[in-house]
Amino acid sequence: MKKTFDIQRKFRFMVYVLLAVSIGLTGLSGYVFFLSVKLSDQSRQKIYVLDNGKSLLVALREDITENRDAEARDHVKRFHELFFTLEPDKQYIENNIREALYLADRSAMEQYQSFKENNLYNQVIASDISMTVMTDSIKLDFSSYPYRFQYFGKQKIVRTSNITVRNLQTTGQLRNISRTDHNPHGFLIEGWRIIDNIDMETIKRKSF
């Protein structure tokens, strides 16, 4: 009878040990799974950059939405700089306009055709005119989509005899598109039009 009791006690002890081991292994497996998920999530938040084929630099990836406002402003600013910066060089003008047209829809092409029909670019080349644009401010409305913007700036026109400063105000909308080499911010300007582009002042240049 005593022998039977000892066998039962040992059997229960083995059951308790196996149960404790099973619980421990289950807990350990859960902890390892939690760590693996956490490490996997952290790895997706990093970009590994090869530095001249020698070392790896780890750069934390920022959430795209956090920089969308700054990207939109830079997109609008860059478009206007390309579209309105002209020098008396046909190749320079064509390169700038081509890059600008990657950033906008048909409305920019129509404005370009209008300038071309009015002989603007030929006058710039023939009269040695330089035109630049200075950005004052850009207003963006992200409350609705497509995002509406207003651009405020000044256009400086340098001629042989004088310098003219014009007010420049435009408006349009921004639509999200895929990022490309020609359009790194992933925006497309739609319905773009010039609201105001009148002369503010003209200054005579000194003769040497």
Q: What's the mean pLDDT in 100-117?
A: 97
Same domain, 197 and 95: yes
Same domain, 90 and 111: yes
Per residue, what are the HEC states of 49-89? EEECCCEEEEEECCCHHHHHHHHHHHHHHHHHHHHHCECCC
| Mean predicted lDDT score pLDDT of the chain | 85
Q: How far is CA 49 from the centre of its chain?
A: 20
Same domain, 16 and 85: no
* Pairing mode of beta strands 147-158, 46-51: unpaired
Same domain, 55 and 136: no
Same domain, 155 and 187: yes
C-alpha span between 136 and 128 (Å, rounded) = 26
Q: Which residues 6+ apart lie within 8 Å of 65 measured at CB?
A: none
Q: What is the pLDDT of residues 34-65, one digit of tens each?
A: 777 666 666 555 555 555 554 444 444 444 55
Kindly report the length of the chain: 208
Please name every residue paired with 150 in a beta bridge, in sequence order, or none if there are none. Answer: 139, 171
**Residues 171, 76: contact at Cβ < 8 Å?**
no
Domain boundary among 45, 60, 75: 60
What's 20's DSSP letter?
A: H
The pLDDT score that the predictor gives to residue 50 is 54
Domain that holds residue 95: 64-204
Domain boundary among 60, 75, 90: 60
Q: What is the pLDDT of residues 131-151, one digit of tens each?
A: 999 999 999 999 999 999 999
pTM of this prediction exceeds 0.85: no
Q: What is the pLDDT of residues 6-33, one digit of tens each?
A: 566 666 667 666 777 778 777 777 777 7
